[in-house]
Amino acid sequence: MAASSRISVVTGAGGFIGGHLVAALRRAGRPVRAVDIKPIDDWYQVFPDVENLAGPLDGDCRDFSVCRRAVRDGAEVFQLAADMGGMGFIENNKALCMLSVLTNTHMLLAAQEASVPRFFFSSSACVYNAEKQVNPDITALSEPDAYPALPEDGYGWEKLFSERMCRHFREDYGIQARVARFHNVYGPHGTWQGGREKAPAAICRKVIAAKASGKHEIEIWGDGNQTRSFMYIDDCVLGIRRIMDSDIYEPINLGSSELVSINQLVDIAETIGGVKLKRHYKLDAPRGVAGRNSDNTLIRKYLGWEPSTSLREGLAKTYAWIEREFHKQVESGEAAALTVSTFSHGSKPIPGDGFMVESRHMDTWKQGIPVGYGDRAEPKPAVAGAARG
Alpha helix segments (H runs only) across 124-245? 155-173, 199-213, 233-244
C-beta of residue 16 within 8 angstroms of C-beta of residue 81: no
The set of residues, in sequence order, having a beta carbon less than 8 Å from that of 291 and lying 6+ positions away, is 133, 134, 135, 136, 137, 138, 226, 227, 228, 259
What pLDDT does residue 317 have? 98
Confidence at residue 87, expressed as pLDDT on a 0 to 100 scale:
74
pLDDT mean for each 10 residues of the chain (389 residues): 69 96 97 96 94 94 95 97 80 86 96 96 93 85 91 91 95 94 95 86 94 92 93 98 96 97 97 96 83 95 97 98 92 61 50 36 38 41 37
- Cα-Cα-Cα-Cα dihedral of 239, 241, 242, 245, to 10°? 150
SS percent in the chain: helix, strand, coil, step 5:
40, 15, 45
Q: What is the pLDDT of residue 219?
A: 93
pLDDT for res 109 = 96
Q: Where are the alpha helices (DSSP H) in 274-368?
A: 297-303, 311-332
Using alpha carbons, list the distances in angstroms from residue 294 to 89, 289, 299.
22, 14, 10
The domain 3-186+232-254 belongs to what CATH superfamily?
NAD(P)-binding Rossmann-like Domain (3.40.50.720)
Q: How far is residue 35's CA from residue 285's CA, in Å, rounded to a whole number?
A: 33
Of residues 205, 280, 200, the one with CA closest to residue 232: 200
Q: Using alpha carbons, list the distances in angstroms from residue 77 to 48, 58, 109, 145, 354.
A: 20, 17, 12, 27, 30
Distance (Å, whole) CA 336 – CA 196 = 18
**Among candidate residues 75, 91, 107, the one with its CA nearest the CA of residue 341:** 91
Helix (H) or strand (E) holding 120: strand 118-124
Residue-level pLDDT at 367: 40
Residue 196's pLDDT is: 80
Compute how many other C-beta atoms are within 10 angstroms of the C-beta atom of residue 72.
14
CB 187 within 8 A of CB 248: no
**Secondary structure (3-state) at 277:** coil
Amino acid letter for position 136? P
Q: Which of 186, 188, 191, 183 is nearest to 341 (CA)?
A: 191
Rg (C-alpha) for the chain, rounded Å, is 21
Answer whether the bond into residue 351 is a cis peptide, omega within 30°.
Answer: no
Q: Rounded to the nearest 10 degrees, how much is the dihedral formed by the CA atoms of 34, 35, 37, 43? A: -10
Distance in angstroms (rounded) separating the CA atoms of residues 298 and 252: 7
Q: Which residues are catalytic?
A: 155
